Each structure stands twice: as C-alpha cells, then as structure tokens.
C-alpha cells in the first residue's frame, strides 16, 4: 500500500527546523507532487464517496482537494473554541490531541444526508486520536464510513487495526 517513490519525495521536502514534524504547506507548494498525492489517495474511493469529512485546520486543505478530486461534498469538522452555530445544531465529541491536550471537535448535525458514504481525510495521522474523534462524531449520524485517507500514518495501538483491516489508505508510514 505504501508508495515509496512519493514517500522519498515528501521526505526530501521536510524542513528540519519545523518544531512539530512535517508541515503540509511546503508540500502544497510542490503542485505536481501534491496533485499526484491527491489523485493517488483518491483512487480507491472514486465513484464511491458522497462526502469527505476533515478536521480543522490543515486537514481541510487536503480534504477539500480530495473532495474536488472525488466530486464529493466537503464537510468540515471544526474545533469547538469558536462555534458558529447554536449548540442544538452541533454534534460534539471530545478527545486528547497528539500533543496531550484536551480538545473538542464539532460538526453541524444536518450536514450529512442520511445514508451518506463518507471518507475521512486528514493530512497526518500521528496518535489516531483526531481521526477516532471524527469516527465517533460520524457514529452519531446515519452514514457509512468507507475509509480514511492520509499522507502519513504512525503505526500504534490505535491505528494498527485500521491499517491491518484496510480501513486507512496512506502514502507512507511515519514519513515525518
């Protein structure tokens, strides 16, 4: 499943001065490679997805690109620090970020039509907690999760079952 050629190209872009590992922004600047990654990640989901769900903020960049590639709608999952809607219109789920901080993700309760076929997209999956929070949010609405797409995933106790069961499609493991 790993694309070793793309992994090498992504690693070559890594900024050693980045305090938090791989930054998506230099990758986006490499238009040919970024578009190739989006196309490659979208391949197994073509003509199958109704909506792409992505967590704020950098996940949205890849998520919007994937939604366009798949001709699907894009459903943002927002951090709860500045809600734009009344609480009764939101579905919320709390989680612990990869850096150990407590956070809450929210989505508009009526944003997905019943029975939607959904792809979760996040740029990097480290602990798996953000993606798990998205899975937990989506469990509150009647939809079908087709998979998870990411550029890189860390293999750990949370993500290993997703990898082993083929739920997650990724360019490489532990790229950062």
Which pairing describes strands 116-121 and 143-153: parallel, antiparallel, or unpaired? parallel
CA 33 to chain centre: 18
Average pLDDT over residues 128-156: 96
Token pair belonging to 170: 């990724």
pLDDT number for residue 1: 67
Could you give all domains of the chain from N- to C-terminal order, each with its CATH number? 4-173 (3.40.50.2020)
Structure confidence by residue, pLDDT tens digits, 34-87: 999 999 999 999 999 999 999 988 889 999 999 999 999 999 999 888 767 787
Q: Are 128 and 162 in contact (CB under 8 A)?
A: yes
Structure confidence by residue, pLDDT tens digits, 88-137: 889 999 999 878 889 999 999 899 998 999 999 999 999 999 999 999 99
pLDDT number for residue 81: 80
Mean pLDDT of the chain, nearest integer: 91
Res 7 pLDDT > 70: yes
Q: Is the dihedral of CA 167, 173, 175, 176 positive or negative?
A: positive
Res 19 pLDDT > 60: no
Q: What's the half-sphere exposure (Cβ side, CA atoms, 13 Å) at 9?
A: 16
Q: What is the pTM of this model?
A: 0.93
């Amino acid at each position: 499943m790993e694309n070793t050629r793309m992994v090498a190209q992504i690693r070559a872009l890594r900024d050693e001065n980045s305090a938090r590992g791989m930054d998506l922004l230099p990758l986006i600047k490499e238009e040919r490679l970024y578009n190739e990654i989006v196309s490659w990640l979208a391949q197994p989901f073509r003509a199958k997805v109704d909506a792409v769900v992505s967590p704020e903020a950098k996940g949205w960049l890849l998520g919007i690109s994937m939604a366009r590639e798949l001709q699907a709608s894009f459903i943002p999952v927002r951090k709860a620090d500045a809600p734009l809607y009344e609480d009764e219109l939101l579905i919320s789920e709390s989680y612990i970020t990869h850096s150990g901080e407590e956070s809450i993700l929210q989505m508009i309760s009526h944003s997905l039509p019943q029975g939607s076929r959904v792809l979760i997209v996040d740029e990097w999956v480290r602990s798996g907690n953000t993606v798990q929070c998205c899975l937990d949010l989506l469990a509150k609405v009647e939809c079908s999760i087709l998979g998870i797409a990411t550029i890189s995933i860390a293999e750990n106790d949370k993500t290993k079952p997703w990898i082993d069961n083929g739920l997650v499609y990724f360019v490489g493991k532990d790229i950062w």
